[in-house]
Amino acid sequence: MSAGKVDVLIYGPSKPVVDGGFTDDFVLHKFNNHHDLSRLGADVANRIRGVAVTGLVQADRVMLSRFPKVEIVSSFGVGYDHIDTNYAIDRNIVVTNTPDVLTEEVADVALGLLIATLREFIKADRYLRSGHWMAQNFPLSAGSLRDRTVGMVGMGRIGQAIARRLDASLVPVVYHSRNPAKDVGYKHHPKLIDMAKDVDTLIAITPGGPSTAKMINAEVLKALGPRGVLINVARGSVVDEEALIAALKDGTIMAAGLDVFANEPNVPAALGALQNVVLLPHIASASVTTRNAMDKLVVDNLLAWFGGKPPITPVPETPPKGR
C-alpha cells in the first residue's frame, strides 16, 4: 500500500538517475514497455498521479486514459510528439519536456554529421582500415563546407545553436520556420520551397507531428538540386523517406546525413545500401553527461509539481493553471 505517498509510473527503460532520484514520499511503479504495462492492474493504475516517460514509448490517449488521477506527464527529450497533448489538455494534465540541457550536444552532432557527410569520414575510415591507403590516397571529396549555404528548417533553441557553429565556420545561414524567430538576424524564408531553391544544404531541426509531416518531400529535394545535402536531426517523420531514397539514388541530391528515421529502430534496407548517406542511430543527445541532465530534469519536474511548485519546463500547450 502507498497511503500518503505519491504513486508515480516510470514508463520506459530503467535509468539510475530516474530510479534513484525520488525520496521515500514516492512509490515508483516501473514498466519497461507497452507489453509490460499491459500487466499493470487497475488498483495501481487508479492511484498513479505522475508519469515519467521516455521517447521510446507512446503516452497516447489509450495509454493515458488508464490513469484517471494522473496530474503530470514528465517526458524525457525536448520533442514530445509521442505524447497526445490534445488529450492532456482535455484532462488538465500538465506535460513537461527537457529543453535546453541537450541543446549544445545536439547542435554539436548536427555539425559533426554535416561535415562527416560532406567529407566522407565513414568511407575514409573504412578505406584506411581495409589497407587501401597503402596503395593509393583516398579520393578527394566532392563535398565541402567551404562553398555552401545552409538553410535551417527550424530556428528554435537547437537551430540557433547549430547556426552559431556555422557562423564560426564562416558558412552563410538562412532559415525557414512558420514565424520569424525573435532576435535572429538570418534571412527568414516563409516558404520552405523558396529556401530550398536558394540553398544547397538543409538542416532539419523542427518538432515532429502532423504540422511538419513529410514537409521535406520530392519537390523540396528537387529544388535543393544535384549538389544538395540534407541533414536530419529533427524527426524521421519530417522527411518523405521514400522520396529521399529515390533522390539519393538518382542524383537529384548529392548526399544525406540522418540521425532520425520514420519507423525507428527500423531503417529501410535501401538507405543502408547507399554509399552517399551517413546513418546514425538517433544519438544526437546520447552522451552520458547530457542524458543524465535530461533524466534529472524529468525527475525535477515531478519533484517540483508534487512539492506544490510550478513544473520547471512545461510544454507551451499545457501551461500549469493556478501555480
Q: Which residues bind ligand NAP (CB under 6 A)?
A: 78-79, 99, 102, 106, 154-159, 177-179, 181, 205-208, 211-212, 233-235, 259-260, 282, 284-285
How many residues does this entry show for the chain? 323
- Partner whose footprint covers residue 56, from ligand NAP, ligand 8YV, none (CB < 5 to 8 Å by kind): ligand 8YV
Is 207 or 225 the residue whose CB approaches ligand NAP more closely?
Answer: 207
Piece of 32-40, 53-61, 107-115, 301-309 that binds ligand 8YV (CB under 6 A)? 53-61
CB of 152: closest distance to ligand 8YV in angstroms? 17
What DSSP state is assigned to residue 323?
-
Amino acid in the structure at residue 67: F
* Residue 102 in contact with ligand 8YV, rule: CB under 6 A: yes
Task: Give the one residue of 79, 151, 154, 257 binding ligand 8YV; rule: CB under 6 A.
Answer: 79
Angle at 275 between CA 270 and CA 278, to 5 degrees: 85
Q: In the 3-class helix/strand/coil scheme, how is 3-46 assigned residue by residue?
A: CCCEEEEEECCCCHHHHCCCCCCEEEEEECCHHHHCCCCHHHHC
Determine contact, residues 276/141, Cβ cutoff 8 Å: no
- Partner whose footprint covers residue 318, from ligand 8YV, ligand NAP, none (CB < 5 to 8 Å by kind): none
Amino acid in the structure at residue 321: K
Is 118 or 256 the residue whose CB approaches ligand 8YV more closely?
Answer: 256
Piece of 19-27, 70-78, 194-202, 315-323 that binds ligand 8YV (CB under 6 A)? 70-78
* Residue 17 in contact with ligand 8YV, rule: CB under 6 A: no
Cell of 138: 583516398
- Between CA 46 and CA 41 the distance in angstroms is 9
Q: Is 282 a catalytic residue?
A: yes
Determine contact, residues 224/199, Cβ cutoff 8 Å: yes
Task: Name residues whose C-beta falls within 8 Å of residue 15's C-beta, 6 or more positions apart in sequence.
Answer: 291, 295
Q: Which single residue is written with the C-alpha cell 552520458?
A: 288
- Partner whose footprint covers residue 155, from ligand 8YV, ligand NAP, none (CB < 5 to 8 Å by kind): ligand NAP
What DSSP state is assigned to residue 239?
B
Task: Give the one residue of 21, 50, 55, 159 binding ligand 8YV; rule: CB under 6 A.
Answer: 55
- Between CA 26 and CA 297 the distance in angstroms is 17
* Residue 78 in contact with ligand 8YV, rule: CB under 6 A: yes
- Partner whose footprint covers residue 320, from ligand 8YV, ligand NAP, none (CB < 5 to 8 Å by kind): none
- Between CA 120 and CA 193 the distance in angstroms is 27
One of 282, 291, 317, 323 is an active-site residue; which one? 282
Q: Is 104 a catalytic residue?
A: no
Residues in the site for ligand 8YV, rule: CB under 6 A? 54-56, 76-79, 102, 282, 285
- Catalytic residue numbers? 235, 264, 282
